[in-house]
Amino acid sequence: MRSAAAVNADANKVAVMNTNDMPWEPTEWPGISRKVLEFVNHAVKGRETALLKFAPGAALPPTTLTERLDMFVVEGSFSDEHGSYGEHTFVRNQPGFHHTLASREGGVLYAKWRVPIRAKAGERVVIDAKTAKWMEFPHRGADALHLYPNADGIETSRIGHVYQHRKIPSHDHSIGEETFVLRGCLKDEFAAYTQGVWFRMPCGVAHAPYTEGERCMMLIREGDLVW
């Protein structure tokens, strides 16, 4: 994680960031810029959520992770010495993992560094959402692709693809939820969340989301606000 001022660090507040309106900030690495959505500097609760933009041929220096790193390819493609990751590929790397991340053609990456909730690191995960088998939930009005198991009952993540003209019953997020809209638009009684919007709902805050004339695809994480 980087050393910086806190960004959306109060987990008890709703946070909404429209990344389309945010400027790209230069980094110390040539050809790489970022948009920081969340930053908490804490030995136990520490995390950073950001978009990283790689120019063609840009690369991060060789890195051994001290935190867990989740990556989702929003645009373009990326690679390291362990493989190649195309658009809409999710990767989870655990602390101690060593890699040199680069993008030959350029791309945008959604990245989240996190001090693990559990001491046990867990397995590395690589899922290509374009080729993986999705689960259909017509009674819930959505298709879903689960990205990692919720073995400890705390954290879970999925990509949800909600049908058009779907109303989701009002619910509160007892373990908190953060969402990044990949495609389409989701609305609730507070706002409209379009492609490129990141929002975080604290534990216990209720809302009733719905879609209108288009489907909405979202990267969803639950439990990250619980320690």
Residue ranges, comma separated, of all CATH 2.60.120.10 domains in the chain are 22-128, 135-222
Residue 47 has pLDDT above 70, yes or no: yes
CATH number of 135-222: 2.60.120.10
Report how far apart, in Å, the C-alpha atoms of 116 and of each of 44, 48, 97, 119, 215 are: 8, 12, 14, 7, 33
Options 3.40.50.1820, 3.40.50.1000, 2.60.120.10, 3.30.365.10; which CATH number does 22-128 get? 2.60.120.10
CA 19 to chain centre: 13
Q: What is the pLDDT of residue 138?
A: 79
Residue 3 has pLDDT above 60, yes or no: no
Q: Which of 53-57, 75-79, 222-226 has the lowest mean pLDDT?
A: 222-226
Cβ atoms of 214 and 184 closer than 8 Å: yes
Those residues with Cβ within 8 angstroms of residue 169's Cβ, 6 or more apart along the chain or in another chain = 208
Which residue bears the tokens 């030995």?
A: 43
> Model pTM?
0.93
CA distance 160 to 36: 23
Give 141-195 pLDDT, tens digit per residue: 899 999 986 665 678 899 999 999 999 888 887 778 899 999 999 998 889 999 9
Q: What is the pLDDT of residue 4?
A: 67
Cβ atoms of 153 and 219 closer than 8 Å: no
Report how far apart, in Å, the C-alpha atoms of 187 and of each of 5, 162, 190, 216 are: 31, 12, 8, 10
Mean pLDDT of the chain: 91
